[in-house]
Structure 1
Amino acid sequence: MRTALSEHDFGAVFGAIRDCTGLSQTQLAALVGLSQARVSEVEAGARRLTGAKLAARISSVFAVPAQLLGFHVDNADPAVGSLASEEMDWVNRRDFVTLATAAALGSRLHPELERLAHVLPGRLNSVTRPRIGDADIDAIEAISDGFRRWDLAHGGGLCRSAALSQLHQIAALDEGVCSPNVRARLQLATAELASMAGWLAYDIEDHNAARRLWTYALHTAQCADGNLRSTDLMVIILLDMAHQALHLRQPKDAFAFCRLAAATSTGRRHPVSHITAGYIHTVTAWCWATLSEPEPTRRALADSQTGYAAASADTIPPWAWIVTEAEIAAQQGHALYLLSLTHPEFAEPAAARLTAAADGHPAEHERSRAVVLPTLAVAHFRAGDIDSAVRIGQDAVTAVTALSSQRCYARLRDLDTVAARHRSASGVLELRADIAAASAV
């Protein structure tokens, strides 16, 4: 191996890694950012990899010491890919997609995966609990469900710290004694809570914390491979990562997470539910819409609708209670809204779907309604209905200021940017003043 590394004979390196880990060529390709065909050519000796950047990437992914690849190292730590620093910027780190891919594949080849519990945001408090049973897992699941309901009603700001504290307590239970079935349930329940904590962090725009938590959740869910819920949860976590990437205006990363979600949905022991399959296509539609591509967006929305329609009352899993008709309308309307930013003809259909979502969300889902309203107001501006835009914009200000969701305030700022183009219209000046006052609080 040392000889192969020093000569950059990555065909031998790839073959040895796959022999030891059981990775397929497709999985290894996903880790290092190559196509399966390219990996096959390299292993067969038909092609060589000579780029320094690619060599460095392979070094980072597989924790190969830099000297073995011919790189000079000045610091005392010769390892490339030592990424455990708690101060690392998880939003801007270049290898985040690679790290998420490694977690989803369960390859255990990325040096950071086994240390994720130590880089969670906040402090890890020790818990003494020698034995764990099914009742403990029931309680953890109820905790996650409670945080989800709170977020839907009020936003993530007020319960994020509580969720993180609970996660630290529950992560420490991994040292407890339990049966294999309880262990699998514990892993999945821990992953579910970490995923929820990640979403709460995202909702208050703490993007670094969200990415740490989601990566930990993804890795932990992957370890619970035998659980029926594991694949669904992994895919949803990856789609949450795509959701965040779009919010951060990183469409390339969003597409990468969508592709990984699609591959994960079909490449594991248990297939995903129809609900999750529909959501994969929904987020893919958002990606295409962000790139101003109407036809791929339409196709993805049609595939999404097919997936949701295939779900029947006896096949919808209990955790999918959050996927209501109003939520599906919001998803579709958001895709059309994104298209309307460059193709105004989509503004009216976007407004129609977003109106259905806003009207359909119950009172206990007020945060879901509030995040829709600013986008709906923008859609009316784009469609030329200024009166409706101002009226709904005022509703948005009222709804958002009653919550603790920084994401909703980001939508208000987007609304203000569009409203500024219509500053001379009746009511727009007052609307912008109200948005400014709300944002200053």
Structure 2
Amino acid sequence: MAARLCSGCARAAGFRQPLPDGFFTTDAIRTALSDHDFGVVFAAIRDCTGLSQSQLAGLVGLSQARVSEVEAGARRLTGAKLAARISKVFAVPAQLLGFHVDTTTPAASSLATEEVDWVDRRDFVTLATAAALGSRLHPELERLAGLLPGRLEPVTRPHIGDTDIDAIEAISDGFRRWDLAHGGGLCRTAALSQLHQVAALDDAACTPGVRGRLQIATADLASMAGWLAYDVEDHNAARRLWTYALHTAQRADGHLRSTDMMVVILLDMAHQALHLQRPKDALTFAQLAAATSISRRHPVSQITAGYIHAVTAWCWAMLGEPEPTHRALDGSRDLYTAATADTTPPWAWFVTSAEIAAQQGHSLHLLSLTHLQYAEPATAHLTVAVQGHPAEHERSRAVVLPTLSVAHFQAGDTDSAVRTGHDAVAAVTSLSSQRCYARLRDLDAVAARHQHAPGVMELRADIAAALAV
């Protein structure tokens, strides 16, 4: 029976008989649901229940003509909201549609909300792998543009050229500079709006060279929009945007920067997984980035290869494994040293000596959480990073300061920890970066273990006031 209807209402809606138990777990329906092939599902539902196309259309909010086209295979349904509606109306188990469900809640049998949770999707690593390898390996990749958050009506263009791509690249660079200086909160809506405009250019006429540049520029803008979403803790939006960016970069296989772009996006996914305390997922993304870097037509740049090793070091450090952490750090250091300006991707200009010190210090900080002897080396690298970040990279500096304070606590230098902690609060509260506030919460948890030391109670009060606001 339909999930939302009592027996009388179901009869009034056109049900001659209810759906039998186990209807959605048959092999044919399972396969159709997994592929989001609602034409097969609609036809089978109508065959079992006696619903007409018009009656089924009314239940799920479609026209009869649209249902007919879907059943005939002429059109596919791609919207997450529509998938949620179908799941609710017919009590389709959400996990059969490829979505994570919390089985401890009463609504776990179907999609209880209209937005699908991309953070807890059980197949997200598989989906990202498919995007990296090719679009035919996962049916959902073809509907990614319909899943972008904040969809707007774009302005279409019949023809584009190199100057249009120059403008798109400049837009992405502007958002990147704003994020480094101020955090993602104040510009993420503008980035989404620009992305929808740029994505609409996919059908515009252009030369093959411009087409490749457009795909890379679109992927870069989508990746930047994903990072801005991540910076304000909108993790679902970040994952959608990064998967779209990855798929778009994969399509630009012949472009010199395609591999670099794909690898950086996969490493952003790893960065997010670490932030969400999922080091094994993060390591999977880092390993996929490493495999992608050597399996495609064009090799990655030295600086991107160095970043692969840096993120891999974070993963092993969070897992408490010193030896592979040090191997990855050594590889990162060697590759960064070998990098040259003429081979650096245009979007990697911000990887300065301060940024590299921050990456190394973060690995040692993560190791210090299980091996205290790494706390002092961590403070040395993180101090270099804090002192080296210029004013226009204030967000980068602010995200390091709470970690440096924690490292000082771990090393037993309470005075430096308190002083740096107050600096962290001042820096974080001047920005629009929720991710920095998460670092303050981590700092407060560590400070609580030292609350009887001089100045710690005042630091915790300062942090509490910042978090309250």
Q: TM-score, normalised by structure 1?
A: 0.82
Q: Does 2:230 match 1:202?
A: yes
Q: Look up the match of 1:302.
A: 330
Structure 2 counterpart of 1:208, which letter?
N
Q: Give the aligned residue type for 1:132.
A: I
The residue type paired with residue 221 of structure 2 is L
1:344 correspondence with 2:372: yes
Cross-structure match for 2:52 = none
Q: Say if 1:316 and 1:199 are closer, same or farther in 2 by CA, change over 3 A.
A: same
The change in CA–CA distance for 1:61 and 1:389 in structure 2 (over 3 A counts) is farther
Structure 1 residue aligned with 2:360: 332
Q: Is the 1:61–1:98 contact (alpha carbons within 8 Å) kept by the matching residues of 2?
A: no
Map 1:112-261 → 2, pairs under 5 A: 112-261=140-289
Alpha carbons 1:412, 1:435 under 8 Å: kept: yes
Name which of 414, 422, 427 aligns with 1:386: 414
Separation of aligned partners in 1, 2:358 and 2:32: 40
AA aligned to 1:230 is: S
- The aligned runs of 1:23-34 (5 Å cut-off) are none
**What one-letter code is carried by the residue in structure 2 that aligns with 1:233?**
M
Is 1:276 aligned to residue 304 of structure 2?
yes
**How far does residue 59 in structure 1 lie from its aligned partner after superposition?**
5.2
Report the counterpart of residue 66 of structure 2 in structure 1: none
Deviation of 1:314 after TM superposition, in Å, equals: 3.7
The amino acid of 2:373's aligned partner reads E
Distance 1:420 1:76 in 2: 47
Deviations 1:290-326 (A, max 9, x none): 1111111111100111111111244333332111000
What is the aligned partner in structure 2 of residue 290 from structure 1? 318
Any unmatched runs of 5+ in structure 2?
A: 1-24, 49-89, 100-110
Alignment partner of 2:313: what SS? helix
Is the counterpart of residue 414 in structure 1 residue 442 in structure 2?
A: yes
Paired position in structure 1 for 2:455: 427
C-alpha separation in 1, matches of 2:219 and 2:331:
28
Distance 1:262 1:135 in 2: 33
Deviation, 1:396, is 0.3
2:448 maps to a residue whose letter is A
Question: Residues 260 and 345 of structure 2 are in contact (CA less than 8 Å); yes or no, is this contact kept in structure 1?
Answer: no
Does residue 130 of structure 2 align to residue 102 of structure 1? yes
Verify the 8 A CA contact 1:281 1:300 in the aligned structure 2: yes
Residues of 1 paired with 2:97 and 2:207: CA distance? 34
Counterpart CA distance in 2 for 1:187 and 1:205 is 27
In 1: Cα distance, 2:279 partner to 2:32 partner: 24
Asked whether 1:312 is paired with 2:284, we answer: no
Residue 354, structure 1, aligned to residue 382, structure 2: yes
Q: How far apart, in 2, do the equivalents of 1:291 and 1:59 lie?
A: 36
| AA of the residue aligned to 2:141 | L
Q: Would the alpha carbon gap of residues 278 and 234 (structure 1) be closer, same or farther in structure 2, given more than 3 Å must change?
A: same
- Do the aligned residues in 2 keep the contact of 1:61 with 1:109 (CA within 8 Å)? no
- 1:403 correspondence with 2:431: yes
TM-superposed deviation, 1:87: 1.4
Please give the alpha-carbon distance, in whole angstroms, between the structure 1 residues aligned to 2:423 and 2:236: 31
How many pairs are equivalent?
Answer: 383
- Which of 35, 57, 61 pairs up with 1:63? 35
Aligned-CA RMSD value: 2.6
Alpha-carbon distance in structure 2 between the residues aligned to 1:78 and 1:422: 48
Partner of 2:54: none
Instruction: Give 1:374's aligned residue.
Output: 402
2:210 and 2:176 map into 1 onto residues whose CA distance is 23
SS where residue 112 of structure 1 aligns? helix
Distance (whole Å) between structure 1 residues aligned to residue 268 and residue 134 of structure 2: 19
- 1:260 and 1:137 mapped to 2: Cα distance? 29
Q: 1:156, 1:404 within 8 Å by CA — same for their partners in 2?
A: yes
Gaps of 5+ in 1: 1-52
SS at match of 2:213: helix
Cα distance change on mapping 1:343 and 1:182 into 2, 3 Å: same
- Indicate if the aligned counterparts of 1:61 and 1:110 stay in contact, CA closer than 8 A: no
Deviation (angstroms), 1:178: 1.1
For 2:285, give the aligned amino acid.
Answer: F
CA–CA separation in structure 2 for the residues paired with 1:81 and 1:119: 19
CA distance 1:242–1:61, shift in 2 (3 Å): farther
- Higher Cα radius of gyration: 2
- 1:44-59 to 2 correspondences below 5 Å: none
Change in CA separation of 1:117 and 1:173 when aligned onto 2, cut-off 3 Å: same
The whole-number CA distance in structure 2 between the counterparts of 1:186 and 1:161 is 21
**Contact 1:194 / 1:216 at 8 angstroms: preserved in 2?**
yes
